[in-house]
Protein backbone atom coordinates (compact mmCIF):
# COMPACT_ATOMS: atom_id res chain seq x y z
CA UNK A 1 0.00 0.00 0.00
CA UNK A 2 2.96 2.32 0.53
CA UNK A 3 3.83 2.24 -3.17
CA UNK A 4 0.19 2.82 -4.11
CA UNK A 5 -0.02 5.80 -1.75
CA UNK A 6 3.19 7.22 -3.14
CA UNK A 7 1.70 7.01 -6.63
CA UNK A 8 -1.71 8.43 -5.76
CA UNK A 9 -0.19 11.34 -3.85
CA UNK A 10 1.81 12.23 -6.92
CA UNK A 11 -1.17 11.88 -9.23
CA UNK A 12 -3.68 13.94 -7.25
CA UNK A 13 -2.58 17.28 -5.83
CA UNK A 14 -5.57 19.43 -6.89
CA UNK A 15 -8.99 18.24 -5.80
CA UNK A 16 -9.40 15.72 -3.03
CA UNK A 17 -9.49 11.94 -3.20
CA UNK A 18 -10.00 9.62 -0.24
CA UNK A 19 -9.17 5.93 -0.61
CA UNK A 20 -10.77 3.41 1.74
CA UNK A 21 -8.88 0.12 1.82
CA UNK A 22 -10.51 -3.26 2.30
CA UNK A 23 -8.94 -3.54 5.79
CA UNK A 24 -10.73 -0.40 6.99
CA UNK A 25 -7.81 2.05 6.80
CA UNK A 26 -7.90 5.09 4.55
CA UNK A 27 -5.77 7.84 3.04
CA UNK A 28 -6.74 11.26 1.70
CA UNK A 29 -4.68 13.00 -0.97
CA UNK A 30 -4.83 16.39 -2.67
CA UNK A 31 -6.26 19.71 -1.64
CA UNK A 32 -9.81 21.03 -2.09
CA UNK A 33 -10.27 22.80 -5.42
CA UNK A 34 -13.52 24.49 -6.45
CA UNK A 35 -12.99 23.38 -10.05
CA UNK A 36 -12.56 19.71 -9.18
CA UNK A 37 -14.77 17.26 -7.25
CA UNK A 38 -14.02 15.68 -3.89
CA UNK A 39 -14.27 11.95 -4.44
CA UNK A 40 -13.78 8.70 -2.56
CA UNK A 41 -12.76 5.26 -3.79
CA UNK A 42 -13.70 2.23 -1.73
CA UNK A 43 -11.65 -0.92 -2.40
CA UNK A 44 -13.58 -4.11 -1.76
CA UNK A 45 -10.59 -6.44 -1.74
CA UNK A 46 -6.93 -6.16 -0.81
CA UNK A 47 -5.65 -6.87 -4.33
CA UNK A 48 -6.93 -3.66 -5.90
CA UNK A 49 -4.03 -1.32 -4.98
CA UNK A 50 -1.49 -3.91 -6.15
CA UNK A 51 -3.32 -4.39 -9.46
CA UNK A 52 -3.40 -0.63 -10.02
CA UNK A 53 0.32 -0.22 -9.30
CA UNK A 54 1.20 -3.10 -11.63
CA UNK A 55 -0.71 -1.58 -14.55
CA UNK A 56 -2.65 1.58 -13.62
CA UNK A 57 -5.18 1.70 -16.47
CA UNK A 58 -5.79 -2.03 -16.84
CA UNK A 59 -5.69 -2.66 -13.09
CA UNK A 60 -8.18 0.11 -12.35
CA UNK A 61 -10.36 -0.89 -15.30
CA UNK A 62 -10.65 -4.53 -14.27
CA UNK A 63 -11.27 -3.65 -10.62
CA UNK A 64 -14.05 -1.30 -11.79
CA UNK A 65 -15.52 -3.82 -14.22
CA UNK A 66 -15.55 -6.54 -11.55
CA UNK A 67 -17.22 -4.25 -9.00
CA UNK A 68 -14.19 -4.40 -6.70
CA UNK A 69 -14.07 -0.58 -6.60
CA UNK A 70 -16.89 1.76 -5.64
CA UNK A 71 -16.74 5.51 -6.27
CA UNK A 72 -18.49 8.01 -4.01
CA UNK A 73 -19.19 11.64 -4.82
CA UNK A 74 -19.31 10.96 -8.56
CA UNK A 75 -18.81 8.23 -11.12
CA UNK A 76 -16.01 6.81 -13.19
CA UNK A 77 -16.01 9.87 -15.46
CA UNK A 78 -15.42 12.18 -12.49
CA UNK A 79 -12.63 9.98 -11.11
CA UNK A 80 -10.75 9.70 -14.39
CA UNK A 81 -11.25 13.43 -15.03
CA UNK A 82 -9.79 14.25 -11.61
CA UNK A 83 -6.66 12.21 -12.28
CA UNK A 84 -6.16 13.42 -15.84
CA UNK A 85 -6.79 17.07 -14.92
CA UNK A 86 -3.91 16.77 -12.46
CA UNK A 87 -1.65 15.29 -15.12
CA UNK A 88 -2.45 17.20 -18.30
CA UNK A 89 -0.37 16.34 -21.35
CA UNK A 90 0.85 19.93 -21.59
CA UNK A 91 2.39 19.68 -18.11
CA UNK A 92 4.77 16.93 -19.16
CA UNK A 93 3.77 14.76 -16.18
CA UNK A 94 3.35 11.02 -16.62
CA UNK A 95 0.59 8.93 -15.08
CA UNK A 96 2.57 5.72 -15.51
CA UNK A 97 2.94 4.47 -11.95
CA UNK A 98 5.94 2.36 -12.83
CA UNK A 99 7.87 5.18 -14.47
CA UNK A 100 9.03 5.38 -18.04
CA UNK A 101 9.44 2.01 -19.77
CA UNK A 102 12.83 1.31 -21.20
CA UNK A 103 13.15 1.91 -24.92
CA UNK A 104 13.94 -1.72 -25.62
CA UNK A 105 10.79 -3.03 -23.91
CA UNK A 106 8.66 -0.36 -25.54
CA UNK A 107 10.09 -1.14 -28.96
CA UNK A 108 9.44 -4.87 -28.53
CA UNK A 109 5.81 -4.31 -27.51
CA UNK A 110 5.29 -2.00 -30.49
CA UNK A 111 6.50 -4.63 -32.93
CA UNK A 112 4.35 -7.36 -31.37
CA UNK A 113 0.95 -5.72 -31.67
CA UNK A 114 1.23 -2.86 -34.13
CA UNK A 115 1.04 -5.19 -37.08
CA UNK A 116 -2.54 -5.70 -38.25
CA UNK A 117 -2.23 -8.61 -40.64
CA UNK A 118 -4.88 -9.03 -43.29
CA UNK A 119 -5.79 -12.48 -42.00
CA UNK A 120 -6.89 -11.15 -38.62
CA UNK A 121 -8.14 -7.67 -39.55
CA UNK A 122 -11.72 -8.91 -39.89
CA UNK A 123 -11.64 -10.60 -36.47
CA UNK A 124 -10.27 -7.43 -34.87
CA UNK A 125 -13.04 -5.36 -36.42
CA UNK A 126 -15.72 -7.84 -35.39
CA UNK A 127 -14.56 -7.68 -31.75
CA UNK A 128 -15.87 -4.13 -31.47
CA UNK A 129 -18.09 -3.26 -34.42
CA UNK A 130 -20.12 -6.47 -34.50
CA UNK A 131 -21.55 -5.79 -31.07
CA UNK A 132 -25.32 -5.53 -31.05
CA UNK A 133 -26.63 -2.72 -33.21
CA UNK A 134 -29.08 -2.03 -30.41
CA UNK A 135 -26.16 -0.98 -28.20
CA UNK A 136 -24.92 1.65 -30.63
CA UNK A 137 -28.45 2.93 -31.17
CA UNK A 138 -28.64 3.68 -27.44
CA UNK A 139 -25.75 6.15 -27.30
CA UNK A 140 -24.89 7.34 -30.83
CA UNK A 141 -26.76 9.97 -32.83
CA UNK A 142 -29.56 8.97 -35.16
CA UNK A 143 -27.14 8.62 -38.10
CA UNK A 144 -24.83 6.36 -36.04
CA UNK A 145 -21.71 8.44 -36.53
CA UNK A 146 -19.11 6.61 -34.44
CA UNK A 147 -16.42 9.29 -34.66
CA UNK A 148 -15.96 12.77 -33.29
CA UNK A 149 -18.61 15.37 -34.02
CA UNK A 150 -17.78 18.98 -34.93
CA UNK A 151 -18.60 21.70 -32.42
CA UNK A 152 -18.37 25.50 -32.76
CA UNK A 153 -16.67 26.13 -29.39
CA UNK A 154 -14.72 24.22 -26.73
CA UNK A 155 -17.56 24.18 -24.17
CA UNK A 156 -20.47 23.93 -26.63
CA UNK A 157 -21.84 27.20 -25.33
CA UNK A 158 -23.95 27.28 -28.47
CA UNK A 159 -25.75 24.25 -27.05
CA UNK A 160 -26.00 22.36 -30.32
CA UNK A 161 -27.21 18.79 -30.19
CA UNK A 162 -25.07 15.73 -30.87
CA UNK A 163 -27.16 15.15 -33.98
CA UNK A 164 -26.39 18.62 -35.32
CA UNK A 165 -22.71 18.38 -34.42
CA UNK A 166 -22.43 15.12 -36.34
CA UNK A 167 -24.20 16.63 -39.34
CA UNK A 168 -21.73 19.52 -39.19
CA UNK A 169 -18.84 17.03 -39.10
CA UNK A 170 -20.04 15.44 -42.32
CA UNK A 171 -20.32 18.86 -43.98
CA UNK A 172 -16.82 19.77 -42.77
CA UNK A 173 -15.37 16.63 -44.35
CA UNK A 174 -17.42 16.87 -47.55
CA UNK A 175 -16.20 20.44 -48.09
CA UNK A 176 -12.58 19.25 -48.05
CA UNK A 177 -13.28 16.60 -50.69
CA UNK A 178 -14.12 19.30 -53.28
CA UNK A 179 -16.87 17.16 -54.75
CA UNK A 180 -18.74 17.53 -58.04
CA UNK A 181 -21.94 15.70 -59.05
CA UNK A 182 -21.34 12.36 -60.71
CA UNK A 183 -17.98 11.71 -59.06
CA UNK A 184 -17.18 8.25 -57.78
CA UNK A 185 -16.22 8.11 -54.10
CA UNK A 186 -14.75 5.29 -52.03
CA UNK A 187 -15.57 5.32 -48.31
CA UNK A 188 -13.03 3.10 -46.51
CA UNK A 189 -14.45 1.93 -43.20
CA UNK A 190 -17.96 3.13 -43.97
CA UNK A 191 -19.56 2.20 -40.64
CA UNK A 192 -23.33 2.09 -40.80
CA UNK A 193 -23.38 4.08 -44.02
CA UNK A 194 -24.14 7.56 -42.76
CA UNK A 195 -21.27 9.37 -44.49
CA UNK A 196 -21.83 7.62 -47.82
CA UNK A 197 -25.55 8.39 -47.79
CA UNK A 198 -24.86 12.02 -46.80
CA UNK A 199 -22.35 12.55 -49.63
CA UNK A 200 -24.78 11.18 -52.21
CA UNK A 201 -27.72 13.15 -50.84
CA UNK A 202 -25.95 16.50 -50.58
CA UNK A 203 -23.34 16.34 -53.34
CA UNK A 204 -24.83 14.02 -55.97
CA UNK A 205 -21.92 11.59 -56.00
CA UNK A 206 -21.91 7.81 -56.28
CA UNK A 207 -20.34 6.14 -53.25
CA UNK A 208 -18.95 2.69 -52.59
CA UNK A 209 -18.60 2.02 -48.88
CA UNK A 210 -16.46 -0.85 -47.62
CA UNK A 211 -16.31 -2.44 -44.19
CA UNK A 212 -15.14 -5.62 -42.49
CA UNK A 213 -18.09 -5.63 -40.09
CA UNK A 214 -20.97 -7.87 -41.12
CA UNK A 215 -23.34 -6.11 -38.72
CA UNK A 216 -22.51 -2.69 -40.13
CA UNK A 217 -22.85 -3.99 -43.69
CA UNK A 218 -26.40 -5.25 -43.07
CA UNK A 219 -27.52 -1.92 -41.64
CA UNK A 220 -25.81 0.18 -44.33
CA UNK A 221 -27.32 -1.83 -47.18
CA UNK A 222 -30.77 -1.65 -45.63
CA UNK A 223 -30.47 2.11 -45.20
CA UNK A 224 -29.52 2.55 -48.85
CA UNK A 225 -32.43 0.36 -49.93
CA UNK A 226 -34.88 2.21 -47.68
CA UNK A 227 -33.70 5.54 -49.13
CA UNK A 228 -34.11 4.21 -52.67
CA UNK A 229 -30.48 4.96 -53.54
CA UNK A 230 -28.95 1.46 -53.62
CA UNK A 231 -27.96 1.99 -57.27
CA UNK A 232 -25.86 5.02 -56.25
CA UNK A 233 -24.68 4.08 -52.75
CA UNK A 234 -23.29 0.56 -52.55
CA UNK A 235 -21.73 -1.25 -49.62
CA UNK A 236 -19.33 -4.19 -49.71
CA UNK A 237 -17.70 -6.52 -47.17
CA UNK A 238 -14.13 -6.27 -48.44
CA UNK A 239 -10.65 -5.33 -47.30
CA UNK A 240 -9.33 -2.10 -48.82
CA UNK A 241 -6.35 -4.06 -50.14
CA UNK A 242 -8.69 -6.05 -52.39
CA UNK A 243 -10.48 -3.08 -53.97
CA UNK A 244 -10.19 -2.00 -57.58
CA UNK A 245 -10.73 1.53 -58.85
CA UNK A 246 -10.61 4.10 -60.10
CA UNK A 247 -12.29 6.62 -57.78
CA UNK A 248 -12.30 10.40 -57.97
CA UNK A 249 -12.27 10.70 -54.20
CA UNK A 250 -11.50 8.58 -51.16
CA UNK A 251 -12.75 9.35 -47.66
CA UNK A 252 -11.94 7.40 -44.53
CA UNK A 253 -13.27 8.33 -41.11
CA UNK A 254 -12.15 6.43 -38.02
CA UNK A 255 -10.61 3.54 -39.92
CA UNK A 256 -6.93 4.50 -40.10
CA UNK A 257 -6.54 3.63 -36.41
CA UNK A 258 -6.96 -0.02 -37.42
CA UNK A 259 -4.44 -0.13 -40.27
CA UNK A 260 -1.33 -0.85 -38.20
CA UNK A 261 1.96 1.01 -38.67
CA UNK A 262 3.52 -1.91 -40.51
CA UNK A 263 0.92 -1.43 -43.23
CA UNK A 264 0.88 2.36 -43.62
CA UNK A 265 2.92 2.27 -46.83
CA UNK A 266 0.63 -0.42 -48.24
CA UNK A 267 -2.42 1.63 -47.28
CA UNK A 268 -1.22 4.80 -48.99
CA UNK A 269 0.12 3.01 -52.05
CA UNK A 270 -3.20 1.20 -52.41
CA UNK A 271 -5.16 4.44 -52.07
CA UNK A 272 -2.98 6.22 -54.62
CA UNK A 273 -3.54 3.41 -57.10
CA UNK A 274 -7.29 3.55 -56.48
CA UNK A 275 -7.47 7.28 -57.23
CA UNK A 276 -7.79 8.91 -60.63
CA UNK A 277 -4.89 11.13 -61.74
CA UNK A 278 -6.66 14.17 -60.25
CA UNK A 279 -8.00 12.29 -57.23
CA UNK A 280 -8.26 13.61 -53.67
CA UNK A 281 -8.35 11.73 -50.34
CA UNK A 282 -9.37 12.87 -46.86
CA UNK A 283 -8.29 10.81 -43.84
CA UNK A 284 -9.94 11.55 -40.48
CA UNK A 285 -8.25 9.71 -37.62
CA UNK A 286 -7.59 9.89 -33.92
CA UNK A 287 -3.96 10.88 -33.48
CA UNK A 288 -1.43 11.13 -30.70
CA UNK A 289 0.65 14.18 -29.90
CA UNK A 290 4.27 13.94 -28.88
CA UNK A 291 5.40 11.20 -31.22
CA UNK A 292 4.90 7.43 -31.53
CA UNK A 293 3.66 5.45 -28.55
CA UNK A 294 1.96 2.18 -27.61
CA UNK A 295 -1.63 1.14 -27.14
CA UNK A 296 -2.49 0.70 -23.48
CA UNK A 297 -3.29 -2.79 -22.23
CA UNK A 298 -6.96 -2.06 -21.44
CA UNK A 299 -7.74 -0.81 -24.94
CA UNK A 300 -5.78 -3.62 -26.57
CA UNK A 301 -7.49 -6.32 -24.48
CA UNK A 302 -11.07 -5.09 -24.27
CA UNK A 303 -11.82 -2.44 -26.87
CA UNK A 304 -9.74 -2.37 -30.07
CA UNK A 305 -7.45 -5.39 -30.46
CA UNK A 306 -4.95 -4.63 -33.19
CA UNK A 307 -5.69 -0.91 -33.02
CA UNK A 308 -3.04 1.80 -32.81
CA UNK A 309 -3.42 5.58 -32.62
CA UNK A 310 -0.84 7.11 -34.98
CA UNK A 311 1.38 10.11 -34.38
CA UNK A 312 1.19 12.64 -37.19
CA UNK A 313 4.85 11.97 -37.92
CA UNK A 314 4.09 8.27 -38.48
CA UNK A 315 1.16 9.07 -40.71
CA UNK A 316 3.14 11.46 -42.89
CA UNK A 317 6.16 9.16 -43.00
CA UNK A 318 3.87 6.33 -44.11
CA UNK A 319 2.66 8.33 -47.10
CA UNK A 320 6.08 9.62 -48.17
CA UNK A 321 7.49 8.13 -51.37
CA UNK A 322 3.99 7.15 -52.52
CA UNK A 323 3.62 10.27 -54.68
CA UNK A 324 0.61 11.36 -52.68
CA UNK A 325 0.86 15.04 -51.82
CA UNK A 326 -0.24 16.31 -48.40
CA UNK A 327 -2.39 19.31 -49.27
CA UNK A 328 -4.01 20.16 -45.93
CA UNK A 329 -3.73 19.21 -42.26
CA UNK A 330 -6.19 20.19 -39.53
CA UNK A 331 -5.98 19.30 -35.84
CA UNK A 332 -9.30 18.94 -34.00
CA UNK A 333 -8.49 19.25 -30.30
CA UNK A 334 -11.59 19.37 -28.10
CA UNK A 335 -14.25 18.01 -30.42
CA UNK A 336 -13.97 14.35 -29.47
CA UNK A 337 -14.04 15.09 -25.75
CA UNK A 338 -17.38 16.84 -26.20
CA UNK A 339 -18.67 13.99 -28.35
CA UNK A 340 -17.64 11.28 -25.90
CA UNK A 341 -19.24 13.08 -22.98
CA UNK A 342 -22.51 13.06 -24.91
CA UNK A 343 -22.11 9.33 -25.55
CA UNK A 344 -21.35 8.82 -21.86
CA UNK A 345 -24.50 10.71 -20.80
CA UNK A 346 -26.61 8.61 -23.11
CA UNK A 347 -24.97 5.44 -21.83
CA UNK A 348 -25.82 6.37 -18.24
CA UNK A 349 -29.38 7.23 -19.24
CA UNK A 350 -29.77 3.82 -20.92
CA UNK A 351 -28.11 1.75 -18.19
CA UNK A 352 -31.00 -0.67 -17.76
CA UNK A 353 -31.28 -1.33 -21.51
CA UNK A 354 -27.54 -1.95 -21.86
CA UNK A 355 -27.50 -4.35 -18.92
CA UNK A 356 -30.48 -6.15 -20.47
CA UNK A 357 -28.54 -6.49 -23.73
CA UNK A 358 -25.36 -7.71 -22.03
CA UNK A 359 -24.81 -7.53 -18.26
CA UNK A 360 -23.60 -5.29 -15.44
CA UNK A 361 -19.93 -6.02 -16.14
CA UNK A 362 -20.25 -4.94 -19.76
CA UNK A 363 -22.02 -1.76 -18.73
CA UNK A 364 -19.20 -0.91 -16.33
CA UNK A 365 -16.61 -1.72 -18.99
CA UNK A 366 -18.35 0.58 -21.46
CA UNK A 367 -18.52 3.48 -19.01
CA UNK A 368 -14.81 3.07 -18.23
CA UNK A 369 -13.99 3.06 -21.94
CA UNK A 370 -15.99 6.22 -22.64
CA UNK A 371 -14.72 8.05 -19.55
CA UNK A 372 -11.12 7.27 -20.36
CA UNK A 373 -11.56 8.23 -23.98
CA UNK A 374 -13.26 11.55 -23.20
CA UNK A 375 -10.64 12.67 -20.71
CA UNK A 376 -7.67 11.73 -22.89
CA UNK A 377 -8.94 14.31 -25.40
CA UNK A 378 -9.61 16.87 -22.68
CA UNK A 379 -6.33 16.48 -20.79
CA UNK A 380 -4.27 13.73 -22.39
CA UNK A 381 -2.25 13.37 -25.56
CA UNK A 382 -4.97 12.58 -28.11
CA UNK A 383 -6.47 14.77 -30.84
CA UNK A 384 -8.07 14.17 -34.23
CA UNK A 385 -6.19 14.75 -37.46
CA UNK A 386 -7.80 15.46 -40.80
CA UNK A 387 -5.19 15.03 -43.50
CA UNK A 388 -5.98 15.78 -47.13
CA UNK A 389 -3.99 14.22 -49.97
CA UNK A 390 -3.99 14.80 -53.72
CA UNK A 391 -2.23 13.11 -56.62
CA UNK A 392 -1.80 16.36 -58.57
CA UNK A 393 -0.78 19.71 -57.07
CA UNK A 394 -3.15 21.56 -59.42
CA UNK A 395 -6.30 19.60 -58.58
CA UNK A 396 -7.39 21.77 -55.66
CA UNK A 397 -7.61 25.56 -55.23
CA UNK A 398 -4.44 26.98 -53.68
CA UNK A 399 -6.20 28.65 -50.74
CA UNK A 400 -8.57 27.11 -48.19
CA UNK A 401 -11.42 29.49 -49.10
CA UNK A 402 -13.17 26.81 -51.13
CA UNK A 403 -13.60 24.69 -47.99
CA UNK A 404 -15.46 27.40 -46.09
CA UNK A 405 -17.61 28.24 -49.11
CA UNK A 406 -18.56 24.61 -49.68
CA UNK A 407 -19.25 24.06 -45.97
CA UNK A 408 -21.57 27.06 -45.87
CA UNK A 409 -23.40 25.79 -48.94
CA UNK A 410 -23.80 22.35 -47.38
CA UNK A 411 -25.29 23.84 -44.21
CA UNK A 412 -27.84 25.56 -46.43
CA UNK A 413 -28.94 22.20 -47.80
Residue 297, C-beta contacts closer than 8 angstroms, at least 6 positions apart: 55, 57, 58
Q: What pLDDT score does 102 carry?
A: 35
Statement: the pTM of the whole predicted model exceeds 0.75: yes
CA 24 and chain centroid, separation: 39
Question: Using an 8 Å Cβ cutoff, are 381 and 290 in contact?
Answer: yes
H/E element, 370: helix 360-378
CA–CA separation, 389 and 101 (whole Å): 35
392 in the Ramachandran plot: left (φ > 0), alpha (ψ -120 to 50) or beta?
beta
Question: Using an 8 Å Cβ cutoff, are 385 and 329 in contact?
Answer: yes
Looking at the chain, the domain(s) classified CATH 3.40.50.150 span: 114-412
The mean pLDDT of the chain is 92
Q: What pLDDT score does 124 carry?
A: 55
Name the H helices within 116-161: 118-129, 133-139
CA–CA separation, 116 and 100 (whole Å): 26
Question: Using an 8 Å Cβ cutoff, are 64 and 42 in contact?
Answer: no
β-pairing, 69-72 with 38-43? antiparallel
CA–CA separation, 210 and 121 (whole Å): 13
Domain at 2-91: CATH code: 3.30.1050
**φ and ψ at residue 200, rounded to 5 degrees:** -65, -45
Chain segment 284-341, per-residue pLDDT in tens: 999 999 999 999 999 999 998 888 999 999 999 999 999 999 999 999 999 999 999 9
Q: Which residues of 328-364 are buried (b: 16+ CB within 10 A; e: fewer)?
A: eebebebbbbbbbbbbbeebeebeeebeeeeeeebbb
CA–CA separation, 333 and 378 (whole Å): 8
Question: Which residues in 154-304 belong to E strands, given as ranges?
Answer: 184-188, 206-211, 233-237, 247-253, 275-288
Chain segment 226-259, per-residue pLDDT in tens: 999 999 999 999 999 999 999 999 999 999 999 9
Q: Which fold has domain 114-412?
A: Rossmann fold (3.40.50)
Looking at the chain, the domain(s) classified CATH 3.30.1050 span: 2-91
Q: Which residues of 177-209 are buried (b: 16+ CB within 10 A; e: fewer)?
A: bbbeeebebbbbbbbbbbbbbbbbebbebbbbb
Could you tell me the pLDDT band of residue 98, with boundaries at 50, 70 and 90?
A: very low
Chain segment 187-209, per-residue pLDDT in tens: 999 999 999 999 999 999 999 99
Could you tell me the pLDDT band of residue 108, with boundaries at 50, 70 and 90?
A: very low
For the segment 94-115, the average pLDDT, to the nearest whole number, is: 45
Amino acid sequence: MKLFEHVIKRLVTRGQLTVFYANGSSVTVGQPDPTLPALAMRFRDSRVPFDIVRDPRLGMAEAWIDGRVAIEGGGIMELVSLIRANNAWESGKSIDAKGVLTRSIKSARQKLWRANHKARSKANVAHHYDLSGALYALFLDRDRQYSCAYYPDADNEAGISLEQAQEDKKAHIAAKLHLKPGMKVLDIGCGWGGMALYLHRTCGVDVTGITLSEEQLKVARQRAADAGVADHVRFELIDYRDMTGPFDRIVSVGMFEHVGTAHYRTFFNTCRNLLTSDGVMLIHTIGRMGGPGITDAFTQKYIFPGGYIPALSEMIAGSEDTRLMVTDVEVLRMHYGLTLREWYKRTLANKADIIALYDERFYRLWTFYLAGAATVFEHGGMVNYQVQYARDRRTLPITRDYMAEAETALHGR
